[in-house]
Amino acid sequence: MDAFRLLPLAGEPPAERSDAARNREALLRAAAELVDHCSVENVTMDAVAQRAGVGKGTVFRRFESREGLMAALLDHSESEWQASVISGPPPLGPGAPPLERLHAFGRSRIETTLTHAALIRAAGRTGTRAYAAAAFAAMHVRYLLAQLGAHGDLGYLATALLAPFEIPILEQQLVLEQRPVEEVQAGWEDLVRRVVAG
């Protein structure tokens, strides 16, 4: 729990000093780029410092440890993903028909979850907003089910549609059963079709 959240000042967390905030942003961006180019396992404090053009000490002062950096990166990645769902380009963002949006949501959530699984392993914890992240995804799927005219207990159905994106389930399908990710995505789209037709 962030102490800022326990003691909000005038409803707002105190702003970081702006150079510190820029610094943090640059480090997270450098780390996110490294995650995209290499695997999470290969992202070191040294590599992040080098890419961001700062000393290694700065990275440690900001995040305390590689685990701390990974937890910050997890929260940062989830926030960016939520922003792209709320206001990014279609079909994930608004503007596409609801079924296309739901399919884009599934494809993108599977990818994001796999990156997040690696970050959670590296962070040794699930970041500060795991419950909020689950609630956001459920709210969005429920909204799209309503848009699609689905009937029934939409809250239950949204949870059930999100359940196959739990990390152990995805790892079971992709790693143990060696299913290609496209097959898992197609399986989910077929599940959505059945639920909506229901």
Site of interaction with a copy of itself (CB under 8 A): 131, 134, 152-153, 155-157, 159-160, 163-164, 166, 168-169, 172-173, 176-177, 183-184, 186-188, 190-191, 193-195, 197-198
Rounded Cα gap, residues 198 and 30, in angstroms: 45
CB of 189 to a copy of itself, least distance (A): 10
Q: Enumerate residues 6+ apart whose C-beta is below 8 A from 26.
A: 52, 54
- Taking the least distance from each CB to a copy of itself, the nearer of 16 and 166 is 166
The residue (of 21 and 135) whose beta carbon lies closer to a copy of itself is 135
The token duo for 82 is 């939520």
CA distance 41 to 18: 31
Give whichever of 46 and 190 is closer to a copy of itself, judged by the CB atom.
190
Calpha distance 82→88 (Å, rounded) = 9
Shorter beta-carbon distance to a copy of itself: residue 49 or 144: 144
Q: Under a CB-based contact definition with an 8 Å cutoff, are residues 49 and 58 in contact?
A: yes
Question: Do the beta carbons of residue 4 and residue 13 sit within 8 Å?
Answer: yes
List C-alpha distances in Å: 108 to 4, 57, 112, 139.
Answer: 31, 35, 6, 16
Q: Minimum distance from CB of 181 to a copy of itself (Å)?
A: 12
What b/e readout covers 82-110, taking b as 16+ CB neighbours within 10 angstroms? beebeebeebbeeeeebbebbbbbbbbbb
Shortest distance, position 98 Cβ to a copy of itself, whole Å: 17
Q: Count of residues for the chain?
A: 198
Q: Is 37 or 151 the residue whose CB approaches a copy of itself more closely?
A: 151
CB of 39 or CB of 147, closer to a copy of itself: 147
Least CB distance to a copy of itself at residue 93 (A): 26
Min dist. Cβ of residue 187 to a copy of itself (A): 3
User: In DSSP terms, which residues pair with 9 in a beta bridge?
Assistant: 12
Give least dist CB 141 to a copy of itself, A: 13
